[in-house]
Amino acid sequence: MNNPEKTPAERIAAAFKTRYGKAIGMPDHQPGAAELARMAEHRSLRRYRPDPVSPELLQLLFACALSAPTKSDLQQADIIHVADPEKRRRIVAHLPDMAWILDAPLFLVFCGNNRRIRHIGQWRGKPFANEHLDHFMNAAVDAGIVMTNFINAAETAGLGTCPISAIRNAIDTVSKELGLPEGVFPIAGLCVGYPAAAGHISPRLPLEVTVHTDRYDETRLREHVDAYDQRRHANHPYGKQRRTKLFGNADFYGWSEDKARQYAEPERADFGDYIRRQGFSLK
């Protein structure tokens, strides 16, 4: 994915021209320039070579991932390596249009874990006095940060990844297959392997939409989204339209039309009930 003929500054400028529609510069003599360029060029990859990832490298990546920041040093994140091919097949059988997950050399599931800290409180004779939504958020955020750290470490090592939030569409199956006890819940899966293709850089909303100074600002939001739709369509148009039986075929199908259609129908409406069954009140 990296182009050794270009300098890090050139790679960053090219990546961000695709990502944001304009080049974003880098200070001269910037420390870590090569790593910043790699992050700028991030791609989610769904096609992998059959080459295995060595156990030694995987252990290293786990250690790097779990070196991530964690709320108040609570360490409420776990990683489950789904090494059993049959277990992976049973999970993927519940995820329509995602059979390609079976081709990835590695499949991981990242979980939030509030169970350990409850055990520790019992062992030390202390009450658990934080039975509310925030303790769920703490574990979910910890797990998300750990997954991001894993992705960065894996890409540094020459691997490609693709997060799989769709495992939450089959939440009861995933929990049963992975033996998740009360207090532990999956946030996403992750396919990992050596890339079989370069993939593409996904355009993102402009920084004017997603970065704010001092206070939230929606000035020119619709104008920016409309322009982003056009830029993204020119760079990487959607291959098909979503839910055409319900919404028909749009003359122009951009990112905002796709996302509006995606959220126009209920998705994972049972997730809150599942989390409560896992011991979180969500008060």
Do residues 189 and 242 both lie within one domain? no
Q: Pick from 182, 197, 212: which residue ends a domain?
A: 197
243 shares its domain with 176: no
Domain assignment present for residue 46? The answer is no
3-class SS of residue 278: coil
Burial class (CB in 10 A: 0-12, 13-18, 19+), 137: middle
178 and 254 inside one domain: no
Question: Given this model, what pLDDT does residue 214 score?
Answer: 98
Residues 70 and 156 in one domain: yes
Structural domain contains residue 204: no
The domain tally of the chain equals: 2
Tens digit of pLDDT for each residue in 72-104? 999 999 999 999 999 999 999 999 889 999 999
Return d(Cα 159, Cα 150) in angstroms, integer.
11
Q: Mind listing the pLDDT tens digit for each residue in 111-160?
A: 999 999 999 999 999 999 999 999 999 999 999 999 999 999 999 999 99
* 230: in domain: yes
Tens of pLDDT, residue by residue over 177-213, are 999 999 999 999 999 999 999 999 999 999 999 999 9
> Does residue 189 lie within any of the structural domains?
yes
Residues 152 and 255 in one domain: no
Kindly state whether residues 182 and 136 are assigned to the same domain: yes
Are both 163 and 252 inside the same structural domain?
no
Look-up of token digits 């070579």: 49
Would you state the structure tokens that stand for residue 150, as one six-digit string?
Answer: 């894993």
> Mean of the pLDDT values across residues 26-36?
94
Same domain, 97 and 181: yes
| pLDDT tier, 2 (very low <50, low <70, confident <90, very high otherwise) | low
- What distance in Å separates the CA atoms of residue 32 and residue 156, rounded to the nearest whole number? 12
Rounded-to-integer distance, Cα 216 and Cα 209, Å: 10
pLDDT value of position 1: 56
Q: Is the pLDDT of residue 272 over 90?
A: yes
Query: Do 237 and 117 share a domain, yes or no?
Result: no
Last residue of a domain, one of 164, 197, 230: 197
Degrees to nearest 5, angle at CA 3 with 20 and 254: 30
d(CA 139, CA 143): 6
Does residue 161 sit in the same domain as residue 237? no
Same domain, 127 and 253: no
Question: Is the residue at 267 inside a domain?
Answer: no
Torsion of CA 56, 58, 59, 62, to 10 degrees: 160
Model confidence band, residue 263 (pLDDT cutoffs 50, 70, 90): very high
What pLDDT was estimated at residue 5? 83
Q: What are phi and psi of 254, to 5 degrees?
A: -105, -175
**Which token pair is 64?**
């790097």
Q: Which pLDDT does position 23 carry in this prediction? A: 87
203 in any annotated domain: no
Q: Is residue 29 part of a domain?
A: no
Residues 157 and 226 in one domain: no
Chain centroid, CA 234 distance in Å: 25
Q: What is the CATH number of the domain that holds 127?
A: 3.40.109.10
Q: What average pLDDT is seen over the chain?
A: 95
- State the average pLDDT over residues 231-250: 95
The predicted model gives 30-44 an average pLDDT of 96
Report how far residue 128's alpha carbon sits from residue 74's, in angstroms, rounded to the nearest whole number: 14
Task: Please report, for residues 64, 80, 123, 206, 257, the alpha-carbon distance to residue 168 in angstroms, rounded to integers and kept in the order given.
Answer: 25, 15, 32, 29, 24
Using CA atoms, how far apart are residues 252 and 243, in angstroms rounded to an integer?
A: 15
Whether 70 maps to a domain, the answer reads yes
Q: Enumerate residues 6+ apart whose C-beta is below 8 A from 58.
A: 81, 106
Among candidates 79, 48, 260, 64, which has minimal Cα distance to 156? 64
Q: Which residues span the domain enclosing 237?
A: 220-262
